[in-house]
Amino acid sequence: MDQTIELAVEDTRRWLERAVIGLNLCPFAKSVHVKGQVHYAVSAARSASQLLDDLVLELEALMAEDAAVRDTTLLIAPDCLADFLDFNDFLEQADQALVDLDLDGVMQIAALHPLFQFAGTDVDDITNFTNRSPYPTLHLLREESVDRAVAAFPDAESIFEKNMQTMEQLGPEGWAALGVGRTQT
């Protein structure tokens, strides 16, 4: 495996285990991780159009697999859309790909980025870190899996608020101590 690909997968897996699962930011993540149902795909894209091509391929590949084998995909783009606003703009194209592939309502795409910023927050607001991954990442999810997870989790709408509280309690120093950033080469 290419070193860049290997590093991107290792960094993303560490982030998933320590932050997403470790802090329980997503109560649904542990189950699919433990079962080995998370697929890590690393895009070599250097442009939005190349990433869009890879996104289409990964959506098709996810749909072709049984959910018991591959429930979700993390499409990692280490060399593309480093600027959060560019990444955010790209999400319109990603959503359009779902429509074009007739997957709207079947699949959804969650956005994760090293510089993620919720509207109305300061760039360094700790609550933004709930969606900060080591690399620009598109999380491809099956709607039926999301529906099952939400049905099994009481009060799913409270997850966002709980995550904000978790991040505020953790603080910047606590986040840094997790060691979940991009490995510097």
* Tens-place pLDDT, residues 54-92: 999 999 999 999 999 999 999 999 999 999 999 999 999
pTM to 2 decimal places: 0.95
Distance (Å, whole) CA 109 – CA 86 = 16
Residue 23, number of CB atoms within 10 A of its CB: 19
Sign of CA dihedral 155, 115, 80, 34: negative
Distance (Å, whole) CA 144 – CA 32 = 14
Per DSSP, the three-state class of 129 is: helix
Do 118 and 126 contact (CB within 8 A), yes or no?
no
Q: Where are the domains of the chain?
A: 3-178
Q: Buried (b) or exposed (e) across 93-106, using 16+ Cβ within 10 A?
A: ebeebbeeeebeee
Per DSSP, the three-state class of 76 is: strand
End-to-end CA distance of the chain: give it in Å, rounded. 16
* Tens-place pLDDT, residues 123-141: 999 999 999 999 999 999 9
* Tens-place pLDDT, residues 10-54: 999 999 999 999 999 998 899 999 999 999 999 999 999 999 999
Place of tokens 């509207």: 119
